Amino acid sequence: DNPDKMDKAVMEMLRMFSVVSSQRRVTQDFVWHGVQMKENDLVIMPIFIACRDPEAYPDPNEMDLNRSEQPLAFASGPHLCLGMHLARREIKIAIQTFLDKFADIHIPEGAHYEYHAGPTFNVDSLPLAWTKKG
């Protein structure tokens, strides 16, 4: 109902449901927050966990289209994803195409979506119902 909020909605969905993780190799032994890191250890940093940090994102489990904090879905700095603009555009087009064709999109009463976390965020079940427009 608010096409002017589509860009914000895409960014907020990327924050809440980011599927990527970042990984780095430890280059030298050190201790971080009491955890021993050894040279060549692989450190996996699930972005979706960082994007649910209440210190960085107030009410992190709520969809907030007025949120000003930027998600980490495409990383930042020298590791910024070169394809982020294309990916956001593709997501926006896919959502808009779906919304143009269907109405009353909802999770049926009594149903719920299921997900699990690991190195990436994975949706296991997303029961949806809708009606076709026109």
Asked whether residue 109 is domain-assigned, the answer is no
Would residue 128 count as lying in a domain? no
For residue 133, is pLDDT > 90? yes
Q: Count the domains in the chain.
A: 1
Domain containing residue 42: 3-102
pLDDT tens column, 85-119: 999 999 999 999 999 999 999 999 999 999 887 77
Q: Specify the residue for token string 């907020």.
A: 12
Q: The tokens 């209440």 sit on which residue?
A: 54
CA quadruple 38, 43, 49, 50: dihedral sign: positive
Say if 62 falls within a structural domain: yes
Residue 58 lies in a domain: yes
Position 60 scores a pLDDT of 94
List pLDDT tens digits, range 19-62. Answer: 888 889 999 999 999 999 999 999 988 888 888 999 999 999 99
Taking the model in full, what pTM does it have? 0.77
